[in-house]
Structure 1
Amino acid sequence: MPNIHDIQLRDLQVNADERGHLVEVFREDWDEYDITPAMSYYSMTYPGIIRAWHRHLEGQVDHFVCPQGRIKVGVYDDRDDSPTQGELDTFVIGEHNQQLIRIPGDCWHGFKAIGDEPSLLINYPTELYDYEEPDEVRLPYDTDEIPLDWEEPPHE
């Protein structure tokens, strides 16, 4: 369960048969989510690669799903007005654990591809990416400002 205020997790139903499987990753009738994606994209990440840290300051909310491979997602709350300021959450999602993570964009967040295979991450952000003025603030993955050691084994 998440510790950070405004993070939400949804278990995704895997419908499997002899042909393979189908997983719904977004539905407008999911009550617990106020999802209004402005766009969608996916990224492929090689094993061991860390894509962290960044946050959005203009109201964007991200919605992460990992349909292939496995990723460790880190979210750190340093919002001044948050009841969970200073909290860190980590989640391991992927083929073995199909979940959607709603991430408040103003929290620092990122992920690491774990396991032996490349991972796919799908994101449904609530704002369009602005190529001229991106709504992103970045920190290096090994910053001392966030208490997460990406090399530490994931807790499941």
Structure 2
Amino acid sequence: MIDGVKIKKLKVVPDERGRLMEILRSDDSLFLKFGQVYMTTTYPGVVKAWHLHKKQTDNIACVQGVIKLALCDSREGSPTFKEVNQFYLGIHNPLLVQIPVDVYHGWMCVSEDEAIVVNIPTEVYNYENP
């Protein structure tokens, strides 16, 4: 596992009304800070990559469909430099993956339906200096 990457197995609580799934709480051991929450969609077979952040840590969960998430450690001083990790996230494997600064990441929608990904980054998006 890439140094600094953390995985949280998400618990789905179903009842007669539907399902509930907590993604990230401020009392979770992996919670760092709150920047914003956003969702993005990816169509079947489409790749969204590569992303690299110099300041923010991402917290990624897939709440509909399935994605194959790939990570690559680009930090030269890291004990896991150039290591690659892959995870399947989605309806049948509900996970939160925390991606540290300077780790390349991207995903492909591998389900037949559009994937919905929620990200809870530690920083607010800066439109003037993305």
Interval of TM-score (by shorter of Structure 1 and Structure 2): over 0.9
Query: After TM superposition, which residue ranges in structure 1, 4 or more long, deviate above 3 angstroms?
Result: none
SS of the residue aligned with 1:108? strand
Q: What residue is the counterpart of 2:8 in the other structure?
A: 10
1:53 counterpart (50, 53, 64): 50
2:61 counterpart (59, 65, 75): 65
SS of the residue aligned with 1:44? strand
Structure 1 vs Structure 2 CA RMSD: 0.9
**Structure number with higher strand proportion:** 2
Q: What residue is the counterpart of 1:151 in the other structure?
A: none
Distance in 1, Cα, partners of 2:73 & 2:116: 25
Distance in 2, Cα, partners of 1:112 & 1:37: 26
| Contact in 1 for aligned 2:60/2:117 (Cα 8 Å) | yes
TM-score, normalised relative to structure 1: 0.81
Distance in 2, Cα, partners of 1:24 & 1:65: 11
Distance in 1, Cα, partners of 2:12 & 2:109: 21
- 1:97 counterpart = 2:119: no
1:81 counterpart (77, 84, 93): 77
Measured against aligned partners, the alpha-carbon deviations of 1:108-129 in whole angstroms (never above 9, x if no partner) come to: 1011111100000000011111
How many aligned residue pairs are there?
A: 130
Q: What residue is the counterpart of 1:41 in the other structure?
A: 38
Structure 2: state its 5+ residue gaps.
none
1:127 counterpart (111, 123, 130): 123
Measured against aligned partners, the alpha-carbon deviations of 1:64-113 in whole angstroms (never above 9, x if no partner) come to: 01111100100000211100001000000100011100001311101111
Q: What residue is the counterpart of 1:137 in the other structure?
A: none
Please report how far the alpha carbon of residue 17 of structure 1 lies from its aligned counterpart in structure 2 after TM superposition.
1.4
Measured against aligned partners, the alpha-carbon deviations of 1:30-62 in whole angstroms (never above 9, x if no partner) come to: 12x0331210100011101100012012x2100
Structure 1: state its 5+ residue gaps.
135-156
Measured against aligned partners, the alpha-carbon deviations of 1:118-146 in whole angstroms (never above 9, x if no partner) come to: 00000001111111111xxxxxxxxxxxx
